């Protein structure tokens, strides 16, 4: 019975037309229990938004943690992926990457801030992504560090072009990141480079960011490149969000 109670969530859907992508994108917006218009909430944006809600169960898990008093109430925004253009949108070398970044920064975030009672500062704004979605999250940070300085990075697809772009910046003292990778992610099938070693690529990015001053909370565990692995660690990711919110508000 208790579990059924936690699964009673408020999730609102929107169709947002992007002038940058020239298409509509679905947004799913989770509202915490007893959401109020006169309270400002932290907000977490997720690439592959539909999958974060269904396969990752992020709204259900957050709802339970909030009701148990383990997580401050927050708004979660799932930005739907366009599967046929996912690599073009998320990868730094993708032909639509710049347009996708503009969509998120210029259209998605303002829409959410106009329609919901959320904080409008980077201290209370988070972004999450898995695989290439983690790359898109880092890319948004590189384009506007003030907008998205707090990232949840699940099994990032950190190919050499990504690491080269990250090496161009000398300091990451303004970046806060939670990172996760599976120890069995050493031969992940990719559409770009065939099989790729995500495990050691994540090590390299962790070290690259840390040596340049980023505050990185790094996690690894037995697991492969699948949603079951990432879902299992969703409570840990949200616990980090809770820690960051608490630190900002004290």
Domains in the chain: boundaries: 2-248
Secondary structure of 22-78 as H, E, C letters = CEEEEEEEEECCCCCCCCCECEEEECCHHHHHHCCCHHHHHHHHHHCCCCCCCEEEE
* C-alpha to C-alpha distance for 106 and 111, rounded to whole angstroms: 9
Tell me the C-alpha distance between 105 and 47, whole Å. Answer: 13
124 DSSP 8-state letter: G
pLDDT digits 0-9 by tens, 52-96: 999 999 999 999 999 999 999 999 999 999 999 999 999 999 999
pTM of the model: 0.95
Work out the number of other CB atoms within 10 angstroms of the CB of residue 2.
Answer: 8
pLDDT of residue 2: 44
Give pLDDT tens digits for 202-246. 999 999 999 999 999 999 999 999 999 999 999 999 999 999 999
How is residue 116 written in tokens?
A: 């919901």
Superfamily of domain covering 2-248: Alpha/Beta hydrolase fold, catalytic domain (3.40.50.1820)
Helix (H) or strand (E) holding 112: helix 109-115
Token digits of residue 83: 């599967």
């Amino acid at each position: 019975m208790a579990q059924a109670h936690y699964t009673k969530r408020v999730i609102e859907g929107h169709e947002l037309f992007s002038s940058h992508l020239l298409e509509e994108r679905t947004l799913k917006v989770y509202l915490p229990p007893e959401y109020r218009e006169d309270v400002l909430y932290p907000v977490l944006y997720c690439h592959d938004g539909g999958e974060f809600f269904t396969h990752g169960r992020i709204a259900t898990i957050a709802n339970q943690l909030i009701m148990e008093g383990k997580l401050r109430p927050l708004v979660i925004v799932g930005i739907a992926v366009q599967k046929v253009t996912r690599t073009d949108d998320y990868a730094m070398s993708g032909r639509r990457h710049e347009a996708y970044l503009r969509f998120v920064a210029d259209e998605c975030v303002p829409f959410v801030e106009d329609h919901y009672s959320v904080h409008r500062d980077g201290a209370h704004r988070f972004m999450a992504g898995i695989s290439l979605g983690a790359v898109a999250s880092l890319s948004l940070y590189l384009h506007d560090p003030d907008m998205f300085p707090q990232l949840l990075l699940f099994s990032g697809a950190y190919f050499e072009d990504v690491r080269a772009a990250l090496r161009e910046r000398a300091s990451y003292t303004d970046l806060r990141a939670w990172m996760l990778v599976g120890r069995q992610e050493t031969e992940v099938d990719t559409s770009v480079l065939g099989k790729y070693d995500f495990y050691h690529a994540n090590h390299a990015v962790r070290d690259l960011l840390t040596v340049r001053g980023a505050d990185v909370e790094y996690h690894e565990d037995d697991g492969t490149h699948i949603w079951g692995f990432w879902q299992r660690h969703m409570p840990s990711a949200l616990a980090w969000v809770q820690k960051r919110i608490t630190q900002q508000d004290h």
